[in-house]
Amino acid sequence: DAGVTQSPTHLIKTRGQQVTLRCSPKSGHDTVSWYQQALGQGPQFIFQYYEEEERQRGNFPDRFSGHQFPNYSSELNVNALLLGDSALYLCASSLDNEQFFGPGTRLTVL
């Protein structure tokens, strides 16, 4: 079992650009959540996808959007990047009450 995988590992963008991050859930998991972890902080919930729909959203602006595909994999899109979007972006997949996290994508905005 490969567990949760994310790509790319690292990414460098400039302000105003757009970025897409990808996540493949653990085998058998149908739900994907995305979190943003700023340096020295705990993860902050962005949103969760289930059955290809956004089921719940945290306190993030509309610049953050996502998608879930029929195979349960997911993308996180961020438009009009700001310096403050620099963070580790974590994907978690779940079935029932346990969320398992991937290794994250480190996004640096210059």
Which residues here bind other proteins, judged by CB under 8 A?
4, 31, 33, 35, 40-45, 48, 50, 55-56, 58, 90, 92, 97-104
User: What's the rounded Cα separation, in Å, for the pair 98 and 108?
Assistant: 29
Closest approach, Cβ 61 to other proteins, in A, equals 17
CB 85 to other proteins: min, Å: 19
Q: Nearest CA to 43 among 96, 99, 4?
A: 99
Which residue number, 14 or 108, has a Cβ lying nearer to other proteins?
108
Residue 25 vs 102, nearer CB to other proteins = 102
Rounded CA separation 38/68 (Å) = 24
DSSP 8-state code for residue 25 = P
Cβ closer to other proteins: 15 or 54? Answer: 54
Nearest Cα to Cα of residue 33 among 78, 98, 86: 98
